[in-house]
Amino acid sequence: MSTNLKINPERLWSTLMETAQYGATPKGGVRRLTLSDEDKMVRDWFKTTCEAAGLAVSVDAIGNMFATRPGTDPSAPAIAFGSHLDTQPAGGKFDGILGVLAGLEAMRTLNEAGYETTHPLTLVNWTNEEGARFAPAMMCSGVYAGDLDMATMLAGTDRDGKSFGEELERIGYKGPETVGERRFKAFVELHIEQGPILEAEEKTIGVVTGGQGIVWLDGVITGRDSHAGTTPMPMRRDAMNALAEVALAIEAVALEFGPAGVGTLGEALVLPGSRNTIPGTTTFKADFRHPDAEALTAMEAAFTARCREIADGRKVEIDVTRIWRKDPIAFNSTIVEAVEAAAAANALPARRMISGAGHDAFYISGTCPTGMIFVPCWEGVSHNEEESATEADCGAGAQVLLDALLRLDAN
């Protein structure tokens, strides 16, 4: 099946550049942390723009936003698509928002053509995909799916002690809709690849077949604050040097489980934070990923065993808490095939791949048939202000999204 509907890549691009002003950084990136003023600004823009396109916008009790275009069969379940509008602290213009704006572009294209789908179409902005301000990542698709507890998530705090629930109310996005009340016929998420494969292989479309598992660990290392000038080296209980060993242990474990396994220490604090005080406390946040669930479990076990050795050797305590785990997922073959067929119908070079990054589609895949579309990004760089993608590739991704949605509507 194929239609002649063509999305407008220039319009998509100008919408991407317009929204990049919300939280724009001097280096050309975007800082739009979940539930910040910048997140509110882009949400307000999204709501107004969707309403101007004739979509009915609603918000659920954890801030997920749904913009719906009716279908001809009001009893049919909606076909959903979208991604997220929040970013990393030093993020780019594409991670997340491309999938939302491509969905908007698909809606605008259908409107212009006066094309009626059988199923309603629902464009979604999932709250807090990044997990940078409030952990974990993919939070509110996880709540929607029933895998994460709403009350626990609302009570979670950022590093300044502000709670997710308070901030959600502050920006006016705690909506009345019951979370998880909607059930979709299908969900399709377009995203930049965030890795180097498509660019290196000169493919325009990644047909995503699944995603790797993720474990987040929070650690506290406790030694003893003491004087930098007077404490003999053998008498120190230096939490900073223990942290240095922990960082290298994360790398060593990842390499041991490589090349599929990866491990990162992305955030740490050194306390009390004074040049001439030996740090008595450090904290760290670690991220391990692997496409195989058992290997992911083994990575975590290897790391915690290594922490015990480091603690003994350095006379410190190391407490490690697992705050989140998302098992590897496989996407639905019907959606994978629809995406593949859509790429072929548009003569776009494509390859199947699994996602190294986490996406809301992972949680949604537990609720309805789900799949993803990737497009290349420059040097595979993401979670970086320099993140970039071309107008042509973003447009190709949006075209495949629209085509895939129409294929699913026809079934």
User: Which residues lie near Mn ion (CB under 5 A)?
Assistant: 95-96, 357-358
**Identity of the residue, 39 or 130, whose beta carbon is nearer to ligand GLV in the bound complex:** 130
Count Cβ atoms within 10 A of the Cβ of residue 385 and give its class: 0-12 exposed, 13-18 middle, 19 or more buried. buried
| Residue among 282, 281, 284, 283 at smallest CA distance from 265 | 284
Q: What angle do CA 357, 360, 365 make, to 5 degrees?
A: 105
- Read off the tokens for 176: 């009345």
- Read off the tokens for 113: 């053509």
**Identity of the residue, 221 or 357, whose beta carbon is nearer to ligand GLV in the bound complex:** 357
- Read off the tokens for 217: 């660990």
Q: Distance (Å, rounded) from C-alpha 266 to C-alpha 257?
A: 19
Task: Decide: 191 and 98 in contact? Cβ < 8 Å.
Answer: yes
Note if the bond before 259 is cis, omega within 30 degrees. yes
- Read off the tokens for 118: 């059988």
65, 79, 137, 396: which one binds ligand GLV (CB under 6 A): 137
Phi/psi for 248 (5° steps) reads: -70, -30
Q: Distance (Å, rounded) from C-alpha 161 to C-alpha 164?
A: 9
**Identity of the residue, 311 or 372, whose beta carbon is nearer to ligand GLV in the bound complex:** 372
The answer to the question of whether 245 is labelled as a binding residue is: no
Site string for ligand GLV, 309-338 (x = CB under 6 A): ------------------------------
Q: Distance (Å, rounded) from C-alpha 316 to C-alpha 171?
A: 42
| Residue among 321, 256, 249 at smallest CA distance from 283 | 321
Q: Distance (Å, rounded) from C-alpha 275 to C-alpha 376?
A: 44
Q: Distance (Å, rounded) from C-alpha 203 to C-alpha 151?
A: 43
Give which of Mn ion, ligand GLV, none residue 245 binds (C-beta under 5 to 8 Å, depending on kind).
none
Least distance in angstroms from the C-beta of 316 to ligand GLV: 29
**Identity of the residue, 213 or 358, whose beta carbon is nearer to ligand GLV in the bound complex:** 358
Please identify the residue of the shown chain whose CB is closest to the bound ligand GLV.
358
Least distance in angstroms from the C-beta of 384 to ligand GLV: 12
Per rule CB under 6 A, count of chain residues that contact ligand GLV:
4
Least distance in angstroms from the C-beta of 284 to ligand GLV: 16
Least distance in angstroms from the C-beta of 101 to ligand GLV: 17
The answer to the question of whether 191 is labelled as a binding residue is: yes
The answer to the question of whether 84 is labelled as a binding residue is: yes
38, 60, 105, 130: which one binds ligand GLV (CB under 6 A): 130
Task: Decide: 123 and 79 in contact? Cβ < 8 Å.
Answer: no
Q: Distance (Å, rounded) from C-alpha 156 to C-alpha 171?
A: 16
Q: Return the residues of window 358-387 that contact ligand GLV according to CB under 6 A.
A: 358
Least distance in angstroms from the C-beta of 96 to ligand GLV: 8
DSSP 304-348: HHHHHHHHHHHT-EEEEEEEEEE--EE--HHHHHHHHHHHHHTT-
Least distance in angstroms from the C-beta of 215 to ligand GLV: 12
**Identity of the residue, 339 or 357, whose beta carbon is nearer to ligand GLV in the bound complex:** 357
**Identity of the residue, 175 or 213, whose beta carbon is nearer to ligand GLV in the bound complex:** 213
57, 100, 207, 357: which one binds ligand GLV (CB under 6 A): 357
CA 352 to each of CA 193, 267, 405: distance values in angstroms, whole numbers, following the listed order: 12, 33, 19
Least distance in angstroms from the C-beta of 175 to ligand GLV: 24
**Identity of the residue, 203 or 289, whose beta carbon is nearer to Mn ion in the bound complex:** 289
Give which of Mn ion, ligand GLV, none residue 29 binds (C-beta under 5 to 8 Å, depending on kind).
none
Query: Please, what sign has the CA dihedral across residues 109, 112, 118, 122?
Result: positive
Note if the bond before 89 is cis, omega within 30 degrees. no
Least distance in angstroms from the C-beta of 219 to ligand GLV: 18
Q: What is the DSSP letter of 28?
A: S
Q: Return the residues of window 50-89 that contact ligand GLV according to CB under 6 A.
A: none
Least distance in angstroms from the C-beta of 142 to ligand GLV: 13
**Identity of the residue, 95 or 340, whose beta carbon is nearer to Mn ion in the bound complex:** 95
**Identity of the residue, 67 or 192, whose beta carbon is nearer to ligand GLV in the bound complex:** 192
Q: Is 189 in the site for ligand GLV (CB under 6 A)?
A: no
Give the residue ranges of the annotated binding site.
84, 95, 130, 191, 383
Q: Which residues are at the interface with ligand GLV (CB under 6 A)?
A: 130, 137, 357-358
Give the residue ranges of the annotated binding site for Zn(2+).
84, 95, 130, 191, 383
